[in-house]
Copies of this chain bind each other. A is one copy, B any other.
């Protein structure tokens, strides 16, 4: 067994960087030595004494000692530059930067091919749960059908608090921020960006499909109110923010991120608090759930450590599905049954509905349940953001995700008024 003693440089010394530093002390057999830590702010007070602390990125990317760059900064543009420089200087990279990775998939693959260096990024989706590695290595055949997951711990924590303790969205958000589960600026988490980027990464390793952020419809939970929670509770459902990658006819995958009403029998129903859970569904093995802590310093630090360890064993992603004779393309040609809540009754007119199944007009709010084409959601996403307070998949199940529908033409039914 080849096993290389890595000399690592850690770039970025926030929560994850510090946790990695601690976790590495507990894992002497990993055979990685920290040569240098580069933090951003020289004036920040730190709890732990760091040997070899520096504030100049080049001391890592241009070091002749360091062979492995562990990139844990927030800025995705800067992170990509670091990746490129590191590769060019003959270093491998470990990263948890989902945005940088998802935005640059093809470039990252090309750079690896050109330089012979490699990047591992299992920490970028679902923290400590080894989802990327499993999709890449284990579900390596044509049986894989769907990936469905709660990929964002902050949103899940907020939704759990609202459901369980009748807290308002703002109360729950504040609490998530206090506990360190949500950032000071929570948009990335609660509006679905984070889950969308993770979905892109999972889709590459699951299906061999390189999707672009602009082609994915995503919406988050920031508009949720107590009335949505009440609607869910009355029907024995919970609301979860869920990312979907579904195989659809014609060798395609449909991708979207949105809240969904989840029945008790669904595996994701019990994935609460800051946990993540991913269902991997295949032709022969039915459904499998991988479940664990998706966020937080230590879980993510341990995922980074697993990548470091894998690098020391010369492991690299081979992007196996990308080498399939014909990886699936991205499709937006599916029908979804959605719940829309809005304030002004006339909003109904801008909803790109194909059918209306249910409608409520009340003093405080209005909602409509109906079917919509995913393509129409994408086209109308700006309007939806503006006029719809909250939207969610009516049911996380095949009933609400219709991949075969007979009449592909516009078949919106007449609006049925409700008292």
Q: Which A residues form the contact surface with B (CB < 8 A)?
A: 1, 3, 19, 23, 26-30, 122, 127-130, 133-134, 137-143, 267, 270, 282-293, 298-299, 301-303, 305-306, 309-310, 313, 315, 318-320, 323-325
Within the complex, the shortest CB–CB distance from A50 to chain B, in Å, comes to 19
Inter-subunit contact B29/A325 (CB<8 Å)? yes
Inter-subunit contact B291/A142 (CB<8 Å)? no
Known A-B contacts A130-B134, A291-B267, A313-B320; the reply to A141 vs B284 at CB < 8 A is: no
Known A-B contacts A30-B142, A138-B130, A142-B29; the reply to A288 vs B291 at CB < 8 A is: yes
Copies of this chain present in the complex amount to 2
Nearest residue, chain B, Cβ from A2: B318
Q: How far is the CA of A127 from the CA of B288 in the complex (A)?
A: 11
Q: How far is the CA of A284 from the CA of B292 in the complex (A)?
A: 12
Inter-subunit contact B301/A141 (CB<8 Å)? no
Set of chain B residues within 8 Å of A134, measured between Cβ atoms: 130, 133-134
- Please pick, from B1, B30, B324, the residue contacting A141 in the complex, using a CB distance under 8 A: B30
Q: Which 9 A-B pairs have the closest CB atoms?
A: A288-B292, A128-B285, A284-B302, A284-B298, A130-B138, A289-B291, A27-B141, A27-B142, A285-B302
**Contacts A23-B143, A284-B302, A287-B293 given; 6 further ones with Cβ under 8 A?**
A1-B320, A133-B134, A285-B293, A286-B293, A289-B291, A313-B318
Q: How far is the CA of A24 from the CA of B289 in the complex (A)?
A: 23
Inter-subunit contact B284/A301 (CB<8 Å)? yes
Inter-subunit contact A302/B289 (CB<8 Å)? no
Inter-subunit contact A302/B143 (CB<8 Å)? yes
Nearest residue, chain B, Cβ from A19: B284
26 CB contacts below 8 A, A to B, read: A1-B318, A1-B323, A19-B284, A23-B283, A26-B143, A26-B283, A29-B142, A122-B138, A128-B284, A128-B285, A130-B138, A133-B134, A137-B137, A137-B315, A138-B306, A140-B310, A141-B302, A141-B305, A141-B306, A143-B302, A283-B302, A285-B292, A285-B293, A285-B298, A286-B292, A288-B290
Q: How far is the CA of A305 from the CA of B144 in the complex (A)?
A: 12
Inter-subunit contact A140/B285 (CB<8 Å)? no
Q: How far is the CA of A129 from the CA of B292 in the complex (A)?
A: 15
Within the complex, the shortest CB–CB distance from A186 to chain B, in Å, comes to 23
Q: How far is the CA of A122 from the CA of B298 in the complex (A)?
A: 29
Nearest residue, chain B, Cβ from A22: B284
Set of chain B residues within 8 Å of A288, measured between Cβ atoms: 128-129, 290-293
Set of chain B residues within 8 Å of A30, measured between Cβ atoms: 141-142
Inter-subunit contact A137/B310 (CB<8 Å)? yes
Inter-subunit contact A142/B285 (CB<8 Å)? no
Known A-B contacts A1-B320, A140-B306, A142-B27; the reply to A289 vs B286 at CB < 8 A is: no
